[in-house]
Amino acid sequence: MMSVVPEPDLPTNLACLKPVDALLRCPVCFDYTNIAMMTKCSHNFCSLCIRKFLSYKPQCPVCNSTATESDLRNNRILDDLVKSFKDARHKLTQTTFESPPISPKT
Amino acid sequence: MMSVVPEPDLPTNLACLKPVDALLRCPVCFDYTNIAMMTKCSHNFCSLCIRKFLSYKPQCPVCNSTATESDLRNNRILDDLVKSFKDARHKLTQTTFESPPISPKT
Ligand SMILES: [Zn+2]
Ligand SMILES: [Zn+2]
Ligand SMILES: [Zn+2]
Ligand SMILES: [Zn+2]
């Protein structure tokens, strides 16, 4: 049986990458942006997060500008950046922590 | 008198950040994207690079889709990512190379 292991925080010596990490997260769900959609006001969200929000209120959750679903534009470079950053972060975290993960108490 | 020092390559142990670095560069000038503008087809360029290109040919330099200046949209998160990534890269490069930079021959 596979257990879900939460992503570790960035190790201390990689703390300088935290601002990059933060920019790649959705302002609605705080997870890495998934299928990034950009509003006219240049804010980015997961496709599902922004569509849900707009069906309730036609405005940007970040800056309150008027926003509609038809104005949304895919921001594919953000999807590519999320993928590449997660890969790099995974590799860097493994390099830094040479020790095996702590086993849960049974 | 200040001399212009070219940005060093990423150190070997940070090679995994190269795909992130590549995504933050403009496909026209290959420098970090400066005032990022996104076309309808979701490709990104420096504001100056894409405006120059479109004044010559109304199509995307990457995928050849029809593109006009009025369709361009600021992609501000890309500007923020370039800034944060350059900061992080600078700090990580300093941490890795503890030795002083090589002085040019006089
Ligand atoms: Zn989200
Ligand atoms: Zn907004
Ligand atoms: Zn450019
Ligand atoms: Zn294109």
* pLDDT tens digits for range A9-45: 677 777 899 999 999 999 999 999 999 999 999 999 9
Q: Residue A36: helix, strand or coil by DSSP?
A: strand
CATH annotation of A17-95: 3.30.40.10
Q: Tokens in use for A11?
A: 């190790």
Q: Please tell me which of the candidates A14, A77, A95 has its beta carbon nearest to residue B44.
A: A77
pLDDT for A5 equals: 52
Q: Tokens in use for B12?
A: 């070997």
Cβ of B13 within 8 Å of Cβ of A95? The answer is yes
Interface of B with A (CB under 8 A): 13-14, 16-17, 19-20, 23-24, 38, 40, 42, 44, 73-78, 80-81, 84-85, 87-88, 91-92, 95
Assess whether pLDDT exceeds 50 at residue A103: yes
| Pair B35, B23: CB distance under 8 Å | no
CATH annotation of B17-93: 3.30.40.10
Cα separation, A60 vs A43, in Å, equals 8
Cβ of A81 within 8 Å of Cβ of B84? The answer is no
Work out the number of other CB atoms within 10 angstroms of the CB of residue B106.
Answer: 3
The domain segmentation of chain B, as residue ranges, is 17-93
Banded pLDDT at B1 (limits 50, 70, 90): very low
Assess whether pLDDT exceeds 90 at residue B9: no
ipTM of the assembly?
Answer: 0.82
